[in-house]
Structure 1
Amino acid sequence: MKTWTSLKEDQPVVMKMIERMIKDDRMAHAYLLHGDPGTGKQAIALHLAMRIFCKSPHGAEPCKTCTDCRRVESGNHPDLHWLKPEGASIKKEQIQDLQREFTYQGLESNKKVYVIENSDKMTTNAANRLLKFLEEPSRETTAILLTDNQYRLLDTIRSRCQLLALRPLSPKALEAALINEGISPHNARLFQAIAPQLEQAKALDQDTWFADARKLMVQLVSMLHSRSNESLFFVEKQWMEHFKDREQLKIGLNLLLHWFKDLIYIQIEDNASLVMLDYKEQLEQQAFRYTKQQLTTILETITHAVRKLDQNVHPTLVMEQLTLQMQR
């Protein structure tokens, strides 16, 4: 379980808002935590619930040692209700059952908390039922709604919640989250550089297209050294066959960009910044075949190629021009 301190590092703005509300004793009756997958919505909801029930808080932080904190953390607190979709959606009956629970007095105190994960997956009937619940809040009841996309919720539900927007994961935090999901450290380093969101980055681990794209990139940079006169033919016959549209080609250019950045990192002995960790030996072999000025020029040409794609220049023409420039 994440600590309060680590949550403050990952989400400083949201955690500061929560701490200020607790300190000023102006807690809202409903919160809507929204942000990309992996940004800590569940962990923040858990800590917030823990702080609400905690018998011996340290300022804004729960003590984590009292009976209530331990029961919240273990999922066994009788006055904390955690709702998740049943199948593809959260159904009206689930909200009805929740409301029924809240007609009874709390077993441990007068306080009650409910957390709704993937709240945007409520059916229309469930959302309307929840809206009535939110319109008649009890001072001792706290709702915490979690969603990856707040705009899928009814405007009337959003307007009755304190909105807490979670920022995207930093590259370091995204890499750590990927490793925690069982992805190898080498792949985690690459995936966080290619895909900015956790679910996108995780998907790369099972994506055979991306695995082939990485191999083609390595083939191209090797060919630029050993058989430079064949590289243009390779691009026309194999590279463009794989990178069939603009978005796919941008991924290929992104891989190339990180390869040549890594060559600079090798030259300046900054191994901590390397992205292509699986190819460190090849990078070391290539690094000093270029001057820093040559590498800087190549990075500029790759960046310029991406801009050309955004300007609707034909993808094949963009790639052919880039290959010729990298040959020089």
Structure 2
Amino acid sequence: MKTITQKELSHAYLFTGEEGAGEFEVALGIAMRLFCENVKNGYPCGKCNECQRILNFDNPDVVIENTNDRSIKVDQIRRIKDEFSKSAVEGNKKVFIISGADRLTSGAANSLLKFIEEPIGEIVTILITENKNLVLPTILSRTQVIEFPHLNREDILKQLTSIGVPPSSVNLMLSLTNDLTEIKSWLKDNWFENIQVAIGQWFKYIIKGDAMAFPFIQTQLLGIINNRDEQRIVLAIMVQIFREPLMIKFVGNSIQREFPQLTDSIDTAKDRLSASQLTDSIELLLMMNNSFNSNINFQNILEETTLKLLDIAKR
């Protein structure tokens, strides 16, 4: 923020750091600082109409591209190019925040370059990546690279506690992501807690070889899953829940349990299933990601995998 106060803000940045290091939040903070109606000590107030609009992604002069696609193609950049060429809608400043800079195809990157090199008016472009080594050299050479420091576990735990993550969910969440923004989205309407309970019940059916695991997918589990991002998280949790009894078999109870509320069921799985059965189950679950990335129907993926897991449990 000091850079903005001293009017030394560059026209193009590349923020790089591990997931959850705060790159996106800082980018939003810069946008808020530029538009804030009530700057205090060089920082945006976070409460004025302009700050709230940016936080709600409702300012036409703050353009955000935050896609989970495996690559960002030329077609996806066209909208941004159009926005680059327009005058600011409500003032003379525009901010562009593009996550996943390492996923820009060469064509998409080239489409952005001339606008980065020759900005029209007061334009600030912020690209974000977890790995700058995967960013095209042409982008690296034309942006000011800002590296965010690594997060340590203690700092992350403090942040999770501050946003209300229950202790029973902390270790599992940290095995899935360090991104506080993503974690906050999981906390809405107790979604993460509900999905933990549902997957826990599904797991209990599986380890007992109970065929109720199959209808449970449609009657209980699918109703909690609302979008593709949540589908991805469900697949990851299923892998982790089978990994825990295998780890206890090899390492003992010294591991940090990710499912403390399922201690009895995890221990039952450890005692009832062999290392071979658990390993085969994990390999099968990992294969779900291939089907998922191939856009196979999610319900079909879960149901087919559940039947195979039941077969493994009954061996």
- Superimposed CA distance per residue, residues 230-273 of structure 1 (whole angstroms, 9 cap, x where no aligned partner): 22222233333433654433322222111111112222215334
For residue 237 of structure 1, give the secondary structure of its aligned residue in structure 2: helix
176-185 or 261-270: bigger deviation: 176-185
Matched, 1:208 2:174: no
Distance 1:150 1:87 in 2: 29
For residue 206 of structure 1, give the secondary structure of its aligned residue in structure 2: helix
Matched, 1:181 2:147: no
Query: Relative to structure 1, is the Cα distance of residues 178 and 314 closer, same or farther in structure 2, using a 3 angstrom cutoff?
Result: same
Query: Relative to structure 1, is the Cα distance of residues 250 and 236 closer, same or farther in structure 2, using a 3 angstrom cutoff?
Result: same
Q: Which residue of 2 aligns with 1:82?
A: 43
Matched, 1:319 2:302: yes
Distance 2:215 2:173 in 1: 29
CA drift at 1:190 = 2.1
Query: Relative to structure 1, is the Cα distance of residues 240 and 206 closer, same or farther in structure 2, using a 3 angstrom cutoff?
Result: closer
Q: Where do 1:128-207 residues align within 5 Å?
A: 155=119, 156-158=123-125, 162-166=144-148, 169=151, 173-207=155-189
Distance 1:279 1:210 in 2: 15
Distance 1:305 1:235 in 2: 15
Code of the residue aligned with 1:202 in structure 2: it is K
Contact 1:194–1:254 at 8 Å: present in 2 too?
Answer: yes
Contact 1:257–1:302 at 8 Å: present in 2 too?
Answer: yes
Contact 1:308–1:318 at 8 Å: present in 2 too?
Answer: yes
- Superimposed CA distance per residue, residues 32-59 of structure 1 (whole angstroms, 9 cap, x where no aligned partner): 6846896367xx9xxxxxxxxxxxxxxx
Distance 1:221 1:308 in 2: 21
Consecutive unaligned residues in structure 1, runs of 5 or more:
1-27, 45-79, 92-118, 132-146
Contact 2:16–2:145 at 8 Å: present in 1 too?
Answer: no
Code of the residue aligned with 2:42 in structure 1: it is H
Distance 1:223 1:259 in 2: 13
For residue 183 of structure 1, give the secondary structure of its aligned residue in structure 2: coil
Q: Which residue of 1 aligns with 2:289?
A: 306
For residue 283 of structure 2, give the secondary structure of its aligned residue in structure 1: helix
Q: Which residue of 2 aligns with 1:139?
A: none
Superposition CA RMSD, Å:
4.5
Query: Relative to structure 1, is the Cα distance of residues 86 and 180 closer, same or farther in structure 2, using a 3 angstrom cutoff?
Result: closer
Q: Where do 1:1-328 residues align within 5 Å?
A: 29-30=8-9, 34=15, 39=21, 81-89=42-50, 125=91, 127=93, 155=119, 156-158=123-125, 162-166=144-148, 169=151, 173-226=155-208, 228-243=210-225, 246-267=228-249, 268-269=251-252, 271-327=254-310, 328=312
Code of the residue aligned with 1:225 in structure 2: it is I
Q: Which residue of 1 aligns with 2:37?
A: none
TM-score, length basis structure 2: 0.56
Q: Give % identity.
A: 15
Distance 1:90 1:274 in 2: 40
For residue 43 of structure 2, give the secondary structure of its aligned residue in structure 1: strand
TM-score, length basis structure 1: 0.54
Distance 2:49 2:238 in 1: 39
Consecutive unaligned residues in structure 2, runs of 5 or more:
1-6, 27-40, 53-60, 64-87, 102-114, 127-141
Distance 1:206 1:260 in 2: 26
Distance 2:277 2:124 in 1: 56
Contact 2:248–2:255 at 8 Å: present in 1 too?
Answer: no
- Superimposed CA distance per residue, residues 289-314 of structure 1 (whole angstroms, 9 cap, x where no aligned partner): 11222111111111101210111222
Distance 1:262 1:169 in 2: 24
274-283 or 236-245: bigger deviation: 236-245
300-309 or 160-169: bigger deviation: 160-169
181-190 or 217-226: bigger deviation: 181-190
Query: Relative to structure 1, is the Cα distance of residues 219 and 86 closer, same or farther in structure 2, using a 3 angstrom cutoff?
Result: closer
Query: Relative to structure 1, is the Cα distance of residues 245 and 203 closer, same or farther in structure 2, using a 3 angstrom cutoff?
Result: closer
- Superimposed CA distance per residue, residues 202-248 of structure 1 (whole angstroms, 9 cap, x where no aligned partner): 23233333322211111111112335132222223333343365443
Contact 1:217–1:256 at 8 Å: present in 2 too?
Answer: yes
Query: Relative to structure 1, is the Cα distance of residues 199 and 35 closer, same or farther in structure 2, using a 3 angstrom cutoff?
Result: farther
For residue 234 of structure 1, give the secondary structure of its aligned residue in structure 2: helix
